[in-house]
Copies of this chain bind each other. A is one copy, B any other.
């Protein structure tokens, strides 16, 4: 406490999130079909991991709830690894209360309605039964609409392949978010799995389009931007 206070005195501008708890989700979720197969979203986890690292650097205590990824964990954060959307929601709720929640994970919207206990085999007919799907919980909306224990500032991500701003604006209201970070993940954009990102920040005040930047740079600018909003 004393050390933290001293650091804040020494470099107030550099640790704007000292004393804050920041919750970040990152990466994909994997939704099991059977013991060997699953449905997934494309997501390297890079943008979310960079945001968690930037929040820690800004002085926050950081909880990073992440799906299966192949990149190293950032230093100085509490990481919780999960597989499914349901497990991610449970881990997010267990990590509350938080001052800021940033939901950058690419959560699967739906999952197979049933998980087979054994490997599903071909039956030799050449036909395959359709996979019945069910909706996953909406983590952003669940937290954004909480009436008690809602984080003070809730950020959602909108990865879209078309009508980016329309979808982001609709999401802002529907999900109960304070900010939507929208980006175009069309296959030609090179953003999914890449090291750069090109985002638009959408709030009730309007849209702020940032240039194409490294994901680390997007992360530190985003943390600065949020710190500026929540610090009086």
Contact = CB atoms under 8 A, between A and B. Distances in A.
A33 interface: yes
A168 to B, nearest CB: 13
Given A36-B41, A38-B40, A131 B128 contact: no
Given A35-B187, A109-B120, 11 more contacts: A30-B40, A36-B41, A37-B41, A38-B39, A39-B40, A109-B128, A110-B128, A119-B161, A121-B167, A130-B130, A131-B133
Given A36-B159, A40-B37, A119-B161, A126 B135 contact: yes
A160 interface: yes
A212 interface: no
Given A122-B135, A130-B130, A39 B37 contact: yes
Nearest to A120: B109
A131 B131 contact: yes
Contacts of A186: 35
Nearest 6 CB-CB pairings of A with B: A70-B70, A130-B130, A128-B133, A131-B131, A110-B128, A119-B161
A172 interface: no
Contacts of A41: 36-37
Contacts of A135: 122, 126-128
Nearest to A116: B161
A184 to B, nearest CB: 11
Contacts of A108: 37
